[in-house]
Chains A and B, each alone.
Chain A
Amino acid sequence: MIPKDLLYSKSHEWAKIEGGIAVVGITHFAQEQLGDITYVDLPQAGTVFEAGQEMGSIESVKAASELYCPVSGEVVEVNPELDAAPEKVNADPYGEGWMIKIKVADEPIDLMSPEEYAEIAQAEH
């Protein structure tokens, strides 16, 4: 479950970059490891991040994890559904479980291709 049209970070976030805007979420592997998501703590629109900077956190019943912004830029939109329905991250991590949209400031350098990410996910399994 590693879509071909996305880029990936070492910390299991994905980014879909189109027209200068990156849509960001966590991967299928990440949501599987976490288990049933109970809460997602996302930044507010307008916040600016560097690539790799901590931007929030995600909780499940048995674990809690930081979220790291995969690209540099300013948050322009935050998924309003996740507050009431965090389970969307489990059910559809690449679709309805999207987390934030960022106006990309710099060309992302540290992101991996789907093939490179596949290796990481395999190794950690």
Chain B
Amino acid sequence: MSTVFAKSVPGREGVWPEKPRTEPVDFIPEGLLRARSANLPSLSELDVVRHFTRLSSKNYGVDSNFYPLGSCTMKYNPKFTEEVAALPGFARLHPLAPQLPGGGDMVPGALEVMYETERLLCEITGMAAFTLHPMAGAHGELTGALMMAAYHADKGHAKTKIVCPDSAHGTNPASAAIAGYEVVSIASKDGIIDPDALAAVLDDQVAGVMMTVPNTLGLFERHLPRIVELCRKVDALLYYDGANLNAILGKLRVGDAGFDVVHLNLHKTFGTPHGGGGPGSGPVGVSERLIPYLPVSRVAKDEAGRFSLRYDYPKSIGYVAPFYGNFGVMLKAYAYILRLGGEGLTRVSEHAVLAANYLRKRLDDLLDVPYNRTCMHEFVASAERQGKHGVHALDIAKALLDRGYHAPTIYFPLIVKEAVMIEPTETESKDTLDAFVTDLREILALAETNPAAVTAAPVTLPVGRLDETHAARAMEITDDLG
């Protein structure tokens, strides 16, 4: 399908304001003005509507397709949350308003939403306080790492390292490195963190340990109490990557379990949409001892019940966001939490774990499952068996696309060869799960009887497999770099 630039016709009228009476050159010297046209597309409203409507039909989304992407929690996004976020009383608020004298009185409803969301997240996770400022999960990780660094600096520690298991999501070591730490990786044993391996690297140089529960294999980290104990001994802070929170809502509160810093992914666990790659929101919760280092501003409520923003926290790490985080995303999560309530959230983890184990048991005769025991909300299979016939995880993924499913996550975590990570979430019906199993089983059978049919996939989509090497070598990243 051609681009908007190809469809451009000079003279087409778009949605224009009235013609100004003056011209910029009346106020600004010509030397400071733009010399050449930007050559932006010139289209009518119908052209634009048609182009993007057609483009949308080339996408798989949760609204149209089952999306068992492990580690992403592609659950259904309730539509009423979209309405709520679009309410003009929220959408039209300028972020500088509360920073004006008496500004808190202009936006009390917004401040209340933030205050309440923080409170609810504290209750859900067992943490002492939250910041809603980080604008994505990885941003939350960085914020957490910066707070850990501030804590240690404040205590006069000269700690230089952060420990991550080899199963960690790539953002963990990346965030630690940005915060100035050296990253030490430890090998997993039997799929989970080996406390002995951890003890071996935990010296007084370790600022923190980053992990997730369940881990990226979907397995419960059963040595958690010992891990907490080991970290306390060297005053290393324990960080929880909340990507997999969907498995433990109501069953485990990470604050109670001993974690010091936690980031959540509102766009995973709390049902806000993924948007094709953002915007997300990654609030960070802390234990009591890290509260002083939280980013500013913070929402305070006085005895009269009035809300305001406070900045008087001398040990704060500063601003991690220009303002208060992705307010428009957090609104949706707040609405989701109110809708589900405590009992609804607990049902989420129960049914997410039920669905994942159901799929595991219906597929484990055909797909190798390296750690084939009760999993949590996701499990990792390996396509090594199919590899003997020349069919790899990538091929299976593409064949699933042909049948109308978005593929599971492939080639992650790195510690499983030909990894296929499946996370159904709690919002898919048993009919959908059964249809998926039937289709996947057919593909796996085809891998043995007719591998070429699998390696040729996809054949029903707008394009077949794309030449990624050519893309990287040619670097055609704008229409003008062709």
Contacts and interface: CB of A to CB of B under 8 A. Distances in A.
Interface in A38-68: 38-39, 59-61
A36 B473 CA distance: 10
A48 B2 CA distance: 50
Main secondary structure of the interface of A (DSSP, over half): loop
Interface residues of B, number: 4
Interface residues of A, number: 9
Interface string B67-86: 00000000000000000000
A86 interface: yes
Contacts of A59: 472
B265 to A, nearest CB: 25
A13 interface: no
Nearest to A36: B469
A36 B469 CA distance: 6
B468 interface: yes
Contact of B468 (A39, A61, A86, A87): A61
A71 to B, nearest CB: 27
Contacts of B468: 61
Nearest to B469: A36
B481 to A, nearest CB: 15
Nearest to A59: B472
B147 to A, nearest CB: 30
Nearest to B472: A38
A38 B472 CA distance: 6
Nearest to B473: A38
Contacts of B469: 35-36, 38, 61
B127 to A, nearest CB: 36
A33 to B, nearest CB: 14
Interface in B451-482: 468-469, 472-473
Contacts of A35: 469
Contacts of A60: 472
A87 B472 contact: no
Interface string A20-42: 00000000000000011011000
Contacts of A36: 469, 472
A48 B469 CA distance: 32
A39 B468 CA distance: 13
A38 B469 CA distance: 7
Contacts of A87: 473
B417 to A, nearest CB: 12
A35 B469 CA distance: 9
Contacts of A39: 472-473
Nearest to B468: A61
Interface in B280-321: none
B381 to A, nearest CB: 20
Interface of A: 35-36, 38-39, 59-61, 86-87
Interface of B: 468-469, 472-473
15 contacts: A35-B469, A36-B469, A36-B472, A38-B469, A38-B472, A38-B473, A39-B472, A39-B473, A59-B472, A60-B472, A61-B468, A61-B469, A61-B472, A86-B473, A87-B473
Given A38-B469, A86-B473, 4 more contacts: A36-B469, A38-B472, A60-B472, A61-B468
The 6 closest A-B pairs by CB, nearest first: A38-B472, A36-B469, A61-B468, A38-B473, A61-B472, A61-B469
